Structure 1
Amino acid sequence: MSTNPRTRRTASSTEGAPEAAGEGGAPPPGVRAIKKYPNRRLYDTQTSSYITLADVKDMVMAVEHFIVLDAKTGEDLTRSILLQIILEEETGGVPMFSTQALAQIIRFYGHTMQGVMGNYLEKNIQSFIDMQARLTENAVVKLPNPVQSFMTSYMEQSSQIFTQMQEQMAKQAETLIGAIQPIPPKK
């Protein structure tokens, strides 16, 4: 999250780049503004009505661009609201993450590899979405065994992303090791 109050991130399922807020903290054109009040209620400025987390989830599923702002401070709360939706989904039905996977993710916070891991997960999820889209296309064309083709392609892309992550880790390690030069003994 940005420390500049004029820079805001918007939730979008199709684009990775954050969009900057306009002058005065207003969201950019085409971005739906949701205000969160201290009583935890969410107000949709587009429909002039209060909404629920389920409504926000529906916006995510519909690939609508939106931003959630604190009604008092204008602080961007979008990530917090998205995390609440994930928490509800994880506790409500069949969880996507195992306890072990969640523990591993937590261990990366504050670790030097936190940024690399976040980047790796994001690229891997995007790769999976791309493969899913291809699988859907292939199902329409009725190719033989599209699931096997999908998994093969996904594994190849995942392997490429993992290789890139390893290269980034090696570069970071070289940088860290280069910064830790032994101090010659005093004479």
Structure 2
Amino acid sequence: MRVIRKYANRRLYDTQQSRYVTLEDLRRLILDEEPFRVEDAKSGEDLTRTILLSIIIEQEQADGESEVFSNDLLAQFIRVYDMAQPLPLARYLEQGTQLMLEQQKRMQDQWKQAMRHSPMDLMREMAEENMRFWQKTIGQGQANADEKDDGKDDEKTDDEPGKS
């Protein structure tokens, strides 16, 4: 696991890459699903949770239109901390978020699968399917018409209109 050290001057140092990093760099590690641990450079105390919360705060402030946590929701979270018997909120949120992310990934995978061909390939495939459908339909219609014609031949008599 990658170790990030936080120094007293608030700077974050990536021990694997031997360079200073920003919260944005850590956010990219999260998006790339690369695990890391943030520790205090002096004491070794685990600061990962605090840094993750800082990343969320930055995200929330970066773009006011895509807020995940409304003021009401944040106030409700604070109330949960003050409950005599706290709800299993963390587990519920983790499971719900995991389910949502899995569904989103599944939808993205299905979309990628559907779009693996160029739009022209998709149009060609659809046209070919339509042709097969219509050929089958016309073939069945022709077979039905032939059966009807065969039945009419059997019903013909020598009596022709106009003859007495």
> TM-score of the superposition, structure 2-length normalised?
0.64
Q: 1:106-125, aligned counterparts within 5 Å?
A: 106-114=78-86, 116-125=88-97
How far the C-alpha of 1:112 sits from its partner, in A, is 4.4
* 1:16-48 per-position Cα deviation (integer Å, ceiling 9, x unaligned): xxxxxxxxxxxxxxx000000010000100011
The yes-or-no answer on 1:103 pairing with 2:75 is yes
Q: Which has the larger radius of gyration?
A: 2
Unaligned stretches of 5+ residues in structure 1 = 1-30, 143-187
Q: Aligned with 1:114: secondary structure?
A: coil
Number of the residue aligned with 2:20? 50
| Equivalent position to 1:86, from 56, 78, 86 | 56
Q: Aligned with 1:137: secondary structure?
A: helix
Number of the residue aligned with 1:140? 112
Q: 1:21-40, aligned counterparts within 5 Å?
A: 31-40=1-10
More helix by share: 2
Give, in whole Å, the separation in 2 of the partners of 1:64 and 1:128.
20
User: Matched residue pairs, number?
Assistant: 113
> TM-score of the superposition, structure 1-length normalised?
0.57
**Percent identity over paired residues:** 45
How far the C-alpha of 1:138 sits from its partner, in A, is 2.3
Letter in 2 for 1:114: P
Q: Point out 4+ residue stretches in structure 1 off by more than 6 angstroms.
A: none
Higher RCO structure (Cα 8 Å, ≥6 apart): 1
Number of the residue aligned with 2:119? none
